[in-house]
Amino acid sequence: MPKSASELTNSQITPDPSLEKRSRRQFSTEYKLRIIAQAEACKHGELGALLRKEKLYSNQLASWRREYAEQGVEGLNKSAPGPAASKTPEQRQNEQLRKENARLTRKLDIANDCLELQKKALSMLDHLRSGSDA
């Protein structure tokens, strides 16, 4: 038997906030510089404790060190996650327009071929009709 409307409205489910999706952490340049300095000051065996305390991974520290060594403070500035775009928006739009143009050209060729076939069929029917009339 179906539930009444009053029973349905009382059964609201609220999501657990601890299960909500987390956003990606972003670190400031000052924070990265401070962690790099603290890591340099660490003695043998203390680096793991520092990383655990700050909830960081060793590859994050390694990439920050590499960026700092290669480009200085500018290398530590925020960058967009993921690979850099290989094409500009204009190039992507041009490629899309070329594809659409090729698709429409193929469609037009098919339509023209259909018209040619219809003309030939009509011509053949005319020849048959004129041959039977004689």
- pLDDT tens across 1-22, in order? 566 666 555 667 777 777 777 7
> Is there a single domain that holds both residue 94 and residue 119?
yes
Does residue 119 lie in a domain region?
Answer: yes
Overall pTM > 0.85: no
The last residue of a domain, from among 79, 95, 112: 79
**What is the extent of the structural domain holding 62?**
26-79
Contacts of residue 75, defined as CB under 8 A and 6 or more positions apart, other chains included, come to 67, 68
What is the structure's pLDDT at 71? 86
> CB of 71 within 8 A of CB of 77?
no
Q: CA-to-CA distance for 32 and 64, rounded, in angstroms?
A: 7
**Torsion angle of the four alpha carbons 111, 116, 121, 127, in this order, in degrees rounded to the nearest 10:** 160
Mean pLDDT of the chain: 86
What is the structure's pLDDT at 6? 60
- pLDDT tens across 27-58, in order? 899 999 999 999 999 998 899 999 999 999 99
